[in-house]
Chains A and B, each alone.
Chain A
Amino acid sequence: MIYLDYSASTPIDQRVADKWMSVETTYFANANSDHVLGRESKRINDESIRSIADYFKVLPKEVIITSSAVESNNTAIKGLALKYPLKRHIISSALEHASLIGALSFLDASDYKIETCPLDEEGRFDLVALDKMISSDTLLVTLIAVDSETGIRQPIEEAAKIAHQHGTLFHTDITQLVGKGHFDLTDIDMATASAHKVYGPKGVAVLIKKAKVPLIPLLHGGHSFTPYRASTPQNGLVAAYAYALKLSDLEFDERLLKVNQLNAYLKDKLSQIPEIHFNSNKHSIPHLFNLSIKGSRPEEGLAYFSNHGLCFSSKSACSGQEELSNSVYAITKDEKLAASSYRISLSHLTTTDELDTLVGVMKAYLKTL
Chain B
Amino acid sequence: MKKIVIISAVWCHACLTMRKRNKALKDKYSDWTWVDYDLDLDDEIVEPLKIGKLIPVYIIYENNIEVKRIAGEMNLDVLERELTNV
Contacts and interface: CB of A to CB of B under 8 A. Distances in A.
Interface of A: 94, 96, 98-99, 101-102, 104-106, 108-109, 114, 116, 299, 317-323, 326
A320 B13 contact: yes
B14 interface: yes
Given A105-B19, A318-B53, A320-B72, A94 B11 contact: no
- Decide if the interface of chain A is mainly helix, strand, loop or mixed: helix
12 contacts: A98-B11, A98-B12, A99-B11, A101-B11, A104-B16, A108-B19, A318-B9, A318-B12, A318-B14, A320-B13, A321-B71, A323-B53
Contacts of B13: 94, 96, 101, 116, 318-320, 326
Given A105-B19, A108-B19, A116-B17, A318 B55 contact: yes
A99 B13 CA distance: 11
Interface residues of B, number: 18
Interface of B: 9-17, 19-20, 53-55, 71-74
B10 A317 contact: no
A107 to B, nearest CB: 10
B11 A102 contact: yes
B14 A319 contact: yes
Contacts of B73: 320-321
B54 A114 contact: no
Contact of B53 (A101, A105, A317): A317
Contacts of A323: 53-54, 72
A101 B16 contact: yes
A135 B76 CA distance: 24
Contacts of A106: 10
A98 B14 CA distance: 11
Nearest to A96: B13
A116 B73 CA distance: 14
Q: Which of A101, A102, A320 has the most CB of B within 10 A?
A: A320
B78 to A, nearest CB: 9
A150 to B, nearest CB: 16
Contacts of B9: 318
Nearest to B72: A321
Nearest to A98: B11
A306 B5 CA distance: 36
